[in-house]
Protein backbone atom coordinates (compact mmCIF):
# COMPACT_ATOMS: atom_id res chain seq x y z
CA UNK A 1 0.00 0.00 0.00
CA UNK A 2 1.31 3.42 -0.90
CA UNK A 3 1.97 5.93 1.88
CA UNK A 4 -0.27 8.94 2.43
CA UNK A 5 2.61 11.15 1.37
CA UNK A 6 3.02 9.23 -1.90
CA UNK A 7 -0.70 9.42 -2.63
CA UNK A 8 -0.75 13.14 -1.83
CA UNK A 9 2.25 13.71 -4.10
CA UNK A 10 0.66 11.71 -6.93
CA UNK A 11 -2.56 13.72 -6.66
CA UNK A 12 -0.54 16.93 -6.64
CA UNK A 13 0.97 16.04 -9.99
CA UNK A 14 -2.35 17.11 -11.48
CA UNK A 15 -0.74 20.55 -11.62
CA UNK A 16 1.36 19.19 -14.46
CA UNK A 17 -1.68 19.20 -16.71
CA UNK A 18 -2.17 22.97 -16.57
CA UNK A 19 -0.21 25.06 -19.04
CA UNK A 20 -1.33 25.16 -22.65
CA UNK A 21 -2.49 23.14 -25.61
CA UNK A 22 -1.91 22.49 -29.29
CA UNK A 23 -4.55 24.24 -31.38
CA UNK A 24 -5.46 24.43 -35.05
CA UNK A 25 -4.58 21.95 -37.78
CA UNK A 26 -2.19 21.55 -40.69
CA UNK A 27 -0.02 24.58 -41.33
CA UNK A 28 -2.08 26.52 -38.80
CA UNK A 29 -1.20 24.30 -35.84
CA UNK A 30 0.30 26.23 -32.95
CA UNK A 31 0.68 26.21 -29.18
CA UNK A 32 -1.44 28.44 -27.02
CA UNK A 33 -1.67 29.10 -23.28
CA UNK A 34 -4.83 28.03 -21.48
CA UNK A 35 -6.91 29.45 -18.66
CA UNK A 36 -7.56 27.55 -15.42
CA UNK A 37 -10.63 26.12 -17.17
CA UNK A 38 -8.59 24.83 -20.12
CA UNK A 39 -9.69 27.49 -22.60
CA UNK A 40 -7.05 28.76 -25.09
CA UNK A 41 -5.95 32.32 -24.49
CA UNK A 42 -3.28 34.72 -25.71
CA UNK A 43 -1.18 34.61 -28.86
CA UNK A 44 -0.47 31.49 -30.86
CA UNK A 45 3.12 30.29 -30.58
CA UNK A 46 5.36 28.50 -33.04
CA UNK A 47 6.83 25.08 -32.33
CA UNK A 48 10.44 24.43 -31.37
CA UNK A 49 11.48 22.12 -34.22
CA UNK A 50 11.37 24.64 -37.06
CA UNK A 51 13.00 27.27 -34.87
CA UNK A 52 15.92 24.93 -34.14
CA UNK A 53 16.33 24.15 -37.84
CA UNK A 54 16.69 27.83 -38.68
CA UNK A 55 18.62 29.05 -35.65
CA UNK A 56 20.81 26.18 -34.42
CA UNK A 57 21.31 23.39 -36.94
CA UNK A 58 24.03 23.73 -39.54
CA UNK A 59 23.46 24.10 -43.27
CA UNK A 60 24.89 20.61 -43.79
CA UNK A 61 22.99 17.44 -44.65
CA UNK A 62 22.84 14.44 -42.38
CA UNK A 63 24.31 11.26 -43.93
CA UNK A 64 21.87 8.83 -45.50
CA UNK A 65 22.44 6.26 -42.74
CA UNK A 66 21.01 8.74 -40.23
CA UNK A 67 18.01 9.52 -42.42
CA UNK A 68 17.09 5.95 -43.32
CA UNK A 69 15.22 3.66 -40.93
CA UNK A 70 15.23 -0.13 -40.91
CA UNK A 71 12.14 -1.84 -42.38
CA UNK A 72 9.45 -2.18 -39.72
CA UNK A 73 7.72 -5.50 -38.94
CA UNK A 74 4.07 -5.98 -39.80
CA UNK A 75 2.32 -5.38 -43.10
CA UNK A 76 0.46 -2.30 -41.86
CA UNK A 77 3.77 -0.48 -41.25
CA UNK A 78 5.02 -0.87 -44.82
CA UNK A 79 5.40 1.97 -47.29
CA UNK A 80 7.40 5.20 -47.37
CA UNK A 81 5.60 6.58 -44.30
CA UNK A 82 5.39 3.31 -42.37
CA UNK A 83 7.94 4.27 -39.74
CA UNK A 84 6.41 7.71 -39.22
CA UNK A 85 2.91 6.22 -38.92
CA UNK A 86 4.15 3.65 -36.43
CA UNK A 87 5.80 6.32 -34.30
CA UNK A 88 2.62 8.39 -34.31
CA UNK A 89 0.52 5.40 -33.22
CA UNK A 90 2.95 4.57 -30.41
CA UNK A 91 3.02 8.20 -29.23
CA UNK A 92 -0.79 8.30 -29.20
CA UNK A 93 -1.07 5.04 -27.25
CA UNK A 94 1.56 6.08 -24.72
CA UNK A 95 -0.23 9.38 -24.20
CA UNK A 96 -3.55 7.65 -23.56
CA UNK A 97 -2.06 5.09 -21.18
CA UNK A 98 0.12 7.49 -19.18
CA UNK A 99 -2.50 10.22 -18.84
CA UNK A 100 -5.15 7.66 -17.80
CA UNK A 101 -2.88 6.24 -15.07
CA UNK A 102 -1.48 2.74 -14.40
CA UNK A 103 -4.90 1.33 -13.43
CA UNK A 104 -6.05 1.75 -17.04
CA UNK A 105 -3.16 -0.16 -18.60
CA UNK A 106 -4.55 -3.63 -17.92
CA UNK A 107 -7.77 -2.78 -19.81
CA UNK A 108 -6.03 -2.13 -23.14
CA UNK A 109 -6.81 -4.83 -25.70
CA UNK A 110 -3.62 -4.41 -27.73
CA UNK A 111 -0.36 -2.77 -26.72
CA UNK A 112 2.21 -2.06 -29.42
CA UNK A 113 5.65 -3.63 -29.08
CA UNK A 114 7.32 -0.22 -28.93
CA UNK A 115 4.87 0.92 -26.25
CA UNK A 116 5.90 -2.02 -24.07
CA UNK A 117 9.58 -1.35 -24.73
CA UNK A 118 9.24 2.30 -23.67
CA UNK A 119 7.26 1.56 -20.50
CA UNK A 120 9.64 -1.26 -19.55
CA UNK A 121 12.70 0.94 -20.13
CA UNK A 122 11.28 3.68 -17.91
CA UNK A 123 10.37 1.21 -15.15
CA UNK A 124 13.81 -0.39 -15.19
CA UNK A 125 15.34 3.06 -14.79
CA UNK A 126 13.15 3.76 -11.77
CA UNK A 127 10.96 6.33 -13.52
CA UNK A 128 7.21 6.65 -12.95
CA UNK A 129 5.42 8.22 -15.94
CA UNK A 130 3.22 11.06 -14.72
CA UNK A 131 1.94 12.83 -17.82
CA UNK A 132 2.53 12.64 -21.57
CA UNK A 133 2.51 15.38 -24.23
CA UNK A 134 2.58 18.07 -21.57
CA UNK A 135 2.66 21.48 -23.26
CA UNK A 136 5.32 23.99 -22.16
CA UNK A 137 5.58 27.46 -23.64
CA UNK A 138 6.85 30.99 -23.31
CA UNK A 139 4.89 33.90 -24.70
CA UNK A 140 7.93 36.12 -24.09
CA UNK A 141 9.97 33.97 -26.48
CA UNK A 142 6.93 33.23 -28.69
CA UNK A 143 7.68 29.52 -28.61
CA UNK A 144 6.01 26.34 -27.45
CA UNK A 145 6.45 22.58 -27.49
CA UNK A 146 5.28 19.45 -25.69
CA UNK A 147 7.26 17.27 -23.30
CA UNK A 148 6.81 13.72 -24.60
CA UNK A 149 6.78 12.16 -21.12
CA UNK A 150 7.27 13.72 -17.69
CA UNK A 151 8.32 11.16 -15.07
CA UNK A 152 8.95 11.12 -11.36
CA UNK A 153 12.18 9.62 -10.03
CA UNK A 154 11.63 8.39 -6.47
CA UNK A 155 15.35 7.76 -5.93
CA UNK A 156 16.22 11.36 -6.86
CA UNK A 157 12.89 12.86 -5.69
CA UNK A 158 12.61 15.01 -8.78
CA UNK A 159 10.92 15.23 -12.17
CA UNK A 160 12.54 13.95 -15.34
CA UNK A 161 11.58 15.21 -18.79
CA UNK A 162 11.89 12.41 -21.34
CA UNK A 163 12.25 13.15 -25.05
CA UNK A 164 11.11 10.02 -26.89
CA UNK A 165 12.27 9.11 -30.39
CA UNK A 166 11.10 5.94 -32.14
CA UNK A 167 13.43 4.68 -34.83
CA UNK A 168 16.63 6.53 -35.74
CA UNK A 169 18.20 3.09 -35.80
CA UNK A 170 21.63 4.01 -37.18
CA UNK A 171 24.04 6.90 -37.49
CA UNK A 172 22.76 8.88 -34.54
CA UNK A 173 26.20 10.38 -33.94
CA UNK A 174 27.17 10.80 -37.59
CA UNK A 175 27.77 14.49 -38.35
CA UNK A 176 26.02 16.47 -41.03
CA UNK A 177 28.40 17.46 -43.81
CA UNK A 178 28.73 20.40 -46.17
CA UNK A 179 31.17 20.32 -49.09
CA UNK A 180 32.72 17.18 -47.64
CA UNK A 181 33.35 18.66 -44.19
CA UNK A 182 31.74 17.71 -40.91
CA UNK A 183 29.54 20.46 -39.49
CA UNK A 184 29.15 21.80 -35.99
CA UNK A 185 26.03 23.42 -34.60
CA UNK A 186 25.68 27.16 -34.29
CA UNK A 187 26.15 29.02 -30.99
CA UNK A 188 25.59 28.36 -28.13
CA UNK A 189 26.39 24.74 -29.10
CA UNK A 190 29.12 25.45 -31.64
CA UNK A 191 31.51 23.07 -29.85
CA UNK A 192 29.43 19.99 -30.64
CA UNK A 193 28.89 18.22 -33.93
CA UNK A 194 25.62 18.62 -35.77
CA UNK A 195 24.23 15.07 -35.51
CA UNK A 196 20.92 13.41 -34.70
CA UNK A 197 21.66 12.90 -30.99
CA UNK A 198 22.73 16.50 -30.50
CA UNK A 199 19.72 17.82 -32.40
CA UNK A 200 17.40 15.86 -30.14
CA UNK A 201 19.31 16.87 -27.00
CA UNK A 202 18.91 20.51 -28.03
CA UNK A 203 15.17 19.98 -28.38
CA UNK A 204 15.10 18.37 -24.94
CA UNK A 205 17.15 21.24 -23.48
CA UNK A 206 14.54 23.77 -24.62
CA UNK A 207 11.64 21.67 -23.32
CA UNK A 208 13.25 21.26 -19.90
CA UNK A 209 14.14 24.98 -19.71
CA UNK A 210 10.54 25.97 -20.43
CA UNK A 211 9.25 23.65 -17.71
CA UNK A 212 11.74 25.07 -15.22
CA UNK A 213 10.34 28.57 -15.85
CA UNK A 214 6.89 27.60 -14.55
CA UNK A 215 7.34 29.04 -11.07
CA UNK A 216 3.80 28.14 -9.95
CA UNK A 217 4.43 24.51 -10.80
CA UNK A 218 7.76 24.42 -8.98
CA UNK A 219 6.16 26.02 -5.93
CA UNK A 220 3.46 23.34 -5.96
CA UNK A 221 6.02 20.56 -6.23
CA UNK A 222 8.03 22.01 -3.34
CA UNK A 223 4.88 22.01 -1.19
CA UNK A 224 4.51 18.30 -2.00
CA UNK A 225 8.07 17.61 -0.95
CA UNK A 226 9.31 17.07 -4.51
CA UNK A 227 12.68 18.57 -5.41
CA UNK A 228 12.52 21.51 -7.79
CA UNK A 229 15.47 20.24 -9.83
CA UNK A 230 14.43 18.74 -13.17
CA UNK A 231 16.49 16.24 -15.14
CA UNK A 232 16.33 15.43 -18.84
CA UNK A 233 16.66 12.12 -20.69
CA UNK A 234 16.63 11.36 -24.39
CA UNK A 235 15.16 7.91 -25.09
CA UNK A 236 15.52 6.05 -28.38
CA UNK A 237 13.24 3.03 -28.76
CA UNK A 238 13.17 0.46 -31.55
CA UNK A 239 12.53 -3.26 -31.86
CA UNK A 240 16.01 -4.03 -30.54
CA UNK A 241 15.38 -2.23 -27.25
CA UNK A 242 15.92 1.20 -25.72
CA UNK A 243 18.88 3.53 -25.24
CA UNK A 244 19.10 6.60 -23.01
CA UNK A 245 21.21 9.75 -23.36
CA UNK A 246 21.30 12.10 -20.37
CA UNK A 247 20.97 15.85 -20.70
CA UNK A 248 24.12 16.53 -18.72
CA UNK A 249 25.29 19.68 -16.97
CA UNK A 250 27.07 21.00 -20.07
CA UNK A 251 23.77 21.11 -21.98
CA UNK A 252 21.75 22.35 -19.03
CA UNK A 253 24.04 25.35 -18.47
CA UNK A 254 23.46 26.51 -22.06
CA UNK A 255 19.71 25.95 -22.18
CA UNK A 256 18.73 29.49 -21.17
CA UNK A 257 21.04 30.96 -23.79
CA UNK A 258 19.62 28.61 -26.41
CA UNK A 259 16.07 29.66 -25.57
CA UNK A 260 17.07 33.31 -25.96
CA UNK A 261 18.65 32.48 -29.33
CA UNK A 262 15.37 30.97 -30.57
CA UNK A 263 13.28 34.02 -29.63
Contacts of 94 (CB under 8 A, 6+ apart): 115, 118, 119, 132, 149, 164
Q: What is the pLDDT of residue 247?
A: 98
Which run of H or E residues covers position 42?
Answer: strand 40-47
Using the predicted structure, report yes or no on whether residue 43 has a pLDDT greater than 60: yes
Q: What is the pLDDT of residue 15?
A: 60
Q: What is the pLDDT of residues 5-17, one digit of tens each?
A: 554 565 566 666 6
Contacts of 253 (CB under 8 A, 6+ apart): none
Using the predicted structure, report yes or no on whether residue 196 has a pLDDT greater than 90: yes
Q: Per-residue confidence at 78, pLDDT binned at 50, 70, 90?
A: low
The mean pLDDT value for 110-115 works out to 91
Q: What is the pLDDT of residue 127?
A: 96
SS (H, E, C) 127-154: EEEEEEEEEEEECCCCEEEEEEEEEEEC
Q: What percent of the chain has pLDDT over 70?
A: 87
Amino acid sequence: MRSNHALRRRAGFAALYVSGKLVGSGRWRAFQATTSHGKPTGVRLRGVTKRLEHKLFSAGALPSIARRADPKPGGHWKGPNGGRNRGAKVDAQLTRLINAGPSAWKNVAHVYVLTRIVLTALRERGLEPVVAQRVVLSEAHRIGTAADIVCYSASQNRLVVVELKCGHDHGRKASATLHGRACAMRAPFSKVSDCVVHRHLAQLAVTRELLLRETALLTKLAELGVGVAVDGLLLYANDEGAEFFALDTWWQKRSAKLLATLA
